[in-house]
Amino acid sequence: MNKNTLTKTAKRLTASPKGILAIDESTSTCNKRFEKLGVPTTEEKRREYRELLVTAKNIEKYISGYICFDETVRQSTKDGKKFTEILKSKKIDIGIKVDEGTKNFGSVLGDKITEGLDKLSERLDEYKKMGATFAKWRAIYNIGSDTPSDECMKANAESFVKYALICQEHDIVPIVEPEVLIDGDHDIEKCYEVTAKNLDIIFSTLKSSGVFIPGIILKTSMVIAGKGAQRQSAPDEVAEFTLKCLREHVPNDIGGIVFLSGGQDDEQATLNLNAMHKKGKLPWSLTFSYGRAIQNPALNSWANNPIDVIAAQKLLVEAAKRNSLASVGKYK
Ligand code: 13P
């Protein structure tokens, strides 16, 4: 493990005023989004769409890294340029989703465990040769009357450790992504309680297992009321609860913290990040690693009019810019 390389990569990825763009939807998730918009669910259509995302002009002003799916890192543009080479030429770091999704965990309905440790080391050898400098592993937690259970949080933390150690042996920065789902009618206090407890479990497990904390990035959900809650959270409230939670439950020497958008409205995700950066100096870098909140306008435009790639790319870059502004508290 080269601690210097890991620290530098984590810092570069989260340095102001940029953030990470997640385009790592699995084939089935990508197909579901295509289906809703009437786009054919073929490998060629996914390639065509990802080409649009990878070749958008000037996106490198706002984006430090792209998280890709396995299919995508192997693909090329219509005229034969590898996506990985295009990203490298723009000095955008290449990330790779290495988890293989979730399955039910134990006997409590709603608990999920993430899979994907099989042959992870060999897979990372190959991704490293392709130029990957960081990876992502996502665990999900449903807020319900009995979930997430302590056993489920502990089991996912153990998997985060195994994943993070293998990544760091390869000098690849692991993004550790615990997503407390926004689905449900829970209030913001409940989300705080679950997020805080889960972060405590994760960081005590990572630290006691020898994971190098300055060489990881935490990708977390914000502390926010559930989508079905009667009282929705305002940006200032999300900022206050989220920052308190991160200050009290995440080590100060972490390589950086980024957010997923997790089904928030696009504008809401931007306003919430912006509100956090209005609250003064923070002990760590804090930025975005959005998927939907940056891609949505571009995907809708392209689905309606696939010929006009430039229009979709313009919307993509504008969304990246809005979030870049929010990452320094300057979004209006
Ligand atoms: P969303 O911003 O669409 O939640 O995607 C981010 C991500 O990487 C989820 O794993």
Note the pLDDT of residue 48: 98
Q: Which two three-digit tokens encode residue 330?
A: 């300057």
179 is a catalytic site residue:
no
- Whether residue 261 has its Cβ less than 6 Å from ligand 1: yes
Instruction: Find residue 286's DSSP bridge partners.
Output: 257
Overall average pLDDT of the 22-34 stretch: 98
Tell me, what's the pLDDT at 15?
98
Q: Catalytic: which of 177, 189, 193, 267?
A: 177
Average pLDDT over every residue of 20-34:
98
- Model confidence pLDDT, tens digit, residues 253-273: 999 999 999 999 999 999 999
Residue nearest to atom 4 of ligand 1 (CA): 262
Burial class (CB in 10 A: 0-12, 13-18, 19+), 42: exposed
138 CB less than 6 Å from ligand 1?
A: yes
Ligand 1 and 262: CB distance under 6 A: yes
User: pLDDT tens-digit profile of 37-65?
Assistant: 999 999 999 999 999 999 999 999 999 99
Q: Is the CB of 17 under 6 A from ligand 1?
A: no
Nearest residue (by CA) to ligand 1, atom 5, is 291
Crossing angle between the packed helical segments 188-208 and 150-169, to the nearest 10 degrees: 50
CA distance 315 to 228: 29
For ligand 1, atom 10, which residue shows the shortest CA distance?
138
Report the nearest atom of ligand 1 relative to the CA of 177. Answer: 10
pLDDT given for residue 115 in this prediction: 98
- How far CA 274 is from CA of 88, 99, 174, 324, 329, in Å, comes to 29, 30, 25, 9, 5
Strand-pair category, 112-114 with 102-104: antiparallel
Report the chain's mean pLDDT, rounded to a whole number: 98
pLDDT at position 149? 98
pLDDT of residue 84: 98
By CB atoms closer than 10 A (0-12, 13-18, 19+), residue 329 is middle
Give the pLDDT of residue 55: 98
Average pLDDT over every residue of 98-114:
97
DSSP one-letter code for 92? P
Please give the share of the chain, as a percent, with pLDDT higher than 90: 100
Please state the rounded mean pLDDT for residues 269-287: 97
The finding on whether 293 has its CB within 6 A of some atom of ligand 1 is: yes
Model pLDDT for residues 218-261, shown as the tens digit of each residue: 999 999 999 999 999 999 999 999 999 999 999 999 999 999 99
SS percent in the chain: helix, strand, coil, step 5:
50, 15, 35
Question: Quick one: pLDDT at residue 319?
Answer: 98
- For residues 140-154, average pLDDT: 98
CA of 292, closest atom in ligand 1? 3
Whether 219 is catalytic is yes
Q: What pLDDT digit, counting tens, does each position of 2-22 carry? A: 999 999 999 999 999 999 999
Question: What is the pTM assigned to this prediction?
Answer: 0.98
The pLDDT of residue 65: 99
